[in-house]
A and B are shown apart, each in its own frame.
Chain A
């Protein structure tokens, strides 16, 4: 079993839809949780991060962490074609180490 599991999709939705992306993890020692966005043939870029359970909002994006269930989500409201990308969850902070463990990534397409 992988330490971080993420449905690879692909996921295709119409413009304006609410998108939900999810990851589960097995190691309760993870201290912080990130979402990266990766456009085609580019390197991943950090979208959002959270430290603890709860929600964090940034514009149309909301990151949610449920440590009791070892489950994290990213919601995209009013999705735009420019949101089409691969979204990777990442987790870290075990014993102060700077390593991140990534999910497989979910490929998302927003159709105009």
Chain B
């Protein structure tokens, strides 16, 4: 299917475990982003990538790791999950130039217990 897809949609994990959230886009967009959405904070940028093998920190990168070996995939890993990382995570993509309309996935609802 065309578009941007995230998996899993829902995840419950225990404190201290490593968990990876997947993101896949079919548009060949250069840019990809990971946001987390929390009440009172809105959408906050965790990491973004301008192209394959190029990543950079956003506003709240601590505790997260990203990689981008292929243009279409941008996985987000929580190295050792904490309860404060309970959130809804959104992946997005956009074109390289011009108005950077970000196209969002459906989100992954992560609960750390």
Contact = CB atoms under 8 A, between A and B. Distances in A.
Interface of A: 6, 8, 32, 34, 41-46, 49, 51, 88, 90, 92-93, 96, 98-105
Contacts, number: 55
Pick from A8, A41, A42, A43 the residue with the most CB of B within 10 Å. A43
B99 A104 contact: no
Contacts of A96: 97
A98 B101 CA distance: 9
Contacts of A105: 42-43
A103 B42 contact: yes
A43 B25 CA distance: 14
B102 A49 contact: no
Nearest to B32: A98
Given A43-B106, A92-B100, A98 B94 contact: yes
A98 B96 contact: yes
Contact of B42 (A46, A93, A99, A102): A102
Given A44-B43, A104-B41, A49 B106 contact: no
Contact of B104 (A44, A49, A93, A101): A44
